[in-house]
Amino acid sequence: MTKAIDTLKGEIDGLNYYIDAYYEEEPVDVAYDTEDENKEYVNRFENGELLNLCVQVTVYDKSGNLEGTDSLGHCHINSNDCLNDVQDMVTSHDMITVALEDLKTKFNNLSL
């Protein structure tokens, strides 16, 4: 998959996290009431107004050996404000917290 944005970096609870967005290779799937509405929406992707992206958040433990992830595919993002839309998607879906919880689960499973 081809990256759509430069990796965004941050920190939560003393752990590093990274946000990436990749172009989806699958065609856009829409299901409006009419075929005309479907075509109109798909045209927004074809003319570059919208992007079909997969957004991924990765949180690493302090050693950098264990990671927790969350991803959301088929995100319809405005190309004119891609970076902000990706950040809004991460925030609205609480993806950093979900990735952190995934990391905690993996760590706890190693401790069993």
DSSP string computed for 46-77 = HTTSEEEEEEEEEEE-TTSS-EEEEEEEEEEE
Asked, for residue 1, whether it belongs to a domain, the answer is no
Asked, for residue 3, whether it belongs to a domain, the answer is no
What is the residue-averaged pLDDT of the chain? 93
| pLDDT-derived band at 28, boundaries 50, 70, 90 | confident
Domain around 49: 8-111
What CA–CA distance (Å, rounded) separates 85 from 92?
10
- Does 1 have pLDDT greater than 80? no
- What is the count of structural domains for the chain? 1
Answering whether pTM is above 0.85, one says yes
- Position 111 scores a pLDDT of 67
- Position 36 scores a pLDDT of 93
- Position 112 scores a pLDDT of 63
Query: Span 64-84, mean pLDDT?
Result: 94
